[in-house]
Each structure stands twice: as C-alpha cells, then as structure tokens.
Chains A and B, each alone.
Chain A
Amino acid sequence: DVKVTQSSRYLVKRTGEKVFLECVQDMDHENMFWYRQDPGLGLRLIYFSYDVKMKEKGDIPEGYSVSREKKERFSLILESASTNQTSMYLCASRLRLAGNEQFFGPGTRLTVL
C-alpha cells in the first residue's frame, strides 16, 4: 500500500513564526502536492512538484514556499505565519503516468494564534 505520512497531525503556532510541514511518501512517486482544505472551499492547491528540485505554483501560493531535495520528501514552509493560514493541510503524491490518482496523507491541522 502507498503510504503518505505527514510530520504532525496537530500544530499550534504564533503569528510571525516560520512553520515547516513535512510530507514523506514511500512509493517512489514523482509528483507531490500540497493542498489546504477549508470548509465549503474544498481543496485548493498551494504548490506541486514534478520531481526532485522541481516545483510549480498552484492556485494559492502566496505566503508559502516549498522544498523538494529528495524524491520522497516534500516540505511546505510558511515564511511568516498569519491567522488566515489556519487550516487543514493535506499532502499528496502520485505516479507521473497520465490518469493516475493521487494518494493523500492524513493531514496537519494548523492553528495560528
């Protein structure tokens, strides 16, 4: 089974802190994604990565950055956390072949005070 893990299930940070969310997948998937999930808005794509050291902005990249130094790991960075970044963050990965579905981690619920 594909396994996607995220470093924390729950995280509480203060405004202005730098926050790191880590995601690791164990199936050698090329593509990895970071979403945020907010009630009524579904999932919105923050950033994605085609492969190691490759990244592309999604729909809502402002206030975020990412890092993909190794194939299995994709990190989301909040440079200076703000209260409007309180949300559920979901990581996903997939094989590059067309039509393949994404596999999701359990999510990190981040609260910024």
Chain B
Amino acid sequence: DAKTTQPNSMESNEEEPVHLPCNHSTISGTDYIHWYRQLPSQGPEYVIHGLTSNVNNRMASLAIAEDRKSSTLILHRATLRDAAVYYCILRPYSNSNSGYALNFGKGTSLLVTP
C-alpha cells in the first residue's frame, strides 16, 4: 500500500481556518484519498474523500495537488469540538469485491485553543 506522511501534531486557535497536510508521494493513479478523524474517547469518523478534484462537504474541504503527491484537509473555522486525531488514508479503487481495510497511520493530533 502507498504510504502517507502527516505531521505528528498541529495547533490552531478557535474560529481560525486549519490546514492539515498529507504527503503521499508514492500514490498510484487509482488511489483515493480518504480522511477520518477520531475524537477523544470515540471511534474514528469519516470526514471526506477525493480522487483528483477538490472536494467540499459540510465538515471540511479537501484540496488535492495537481500531481496528487500531497493533499490538504481544510477546516474552515475550527471549533473546540474539532480537536481530534486526523488520519489521511489511501484507498485503491476496486471494481471487485476485494474487501475493505483501512490502513491508519499515526495521524495528526489537532489541538484547538480558545
């Protein structure tokens, strides 16, 4: 599986935008980029995913570099509730029933201060 690299930790002020980077220089052409986050004392939750184009949803935006070797998860206005570990995960496209396993790395621990 292609590997991702994320900073161990980041800090942000409440109500400020947060840009969480992820490097994936060995990404293949069919790998999708997924982001999950894990709030304290909870299971992980899905945030967003994309392939080539930038993506937006109610939680965040995903900006993907033109060469796809890096991506950035953008939280437009951080709240205290966004303090969590954020995981950037690559998932290959599959048109067969080959199963589903997420390869979590260490992720980025985001601290949000008031």
State whether these chains interact.
no
Chain A residues with a Cβ under 8 A of chain B: none
> Contact residues of B with A, CB < 8 Å?
none
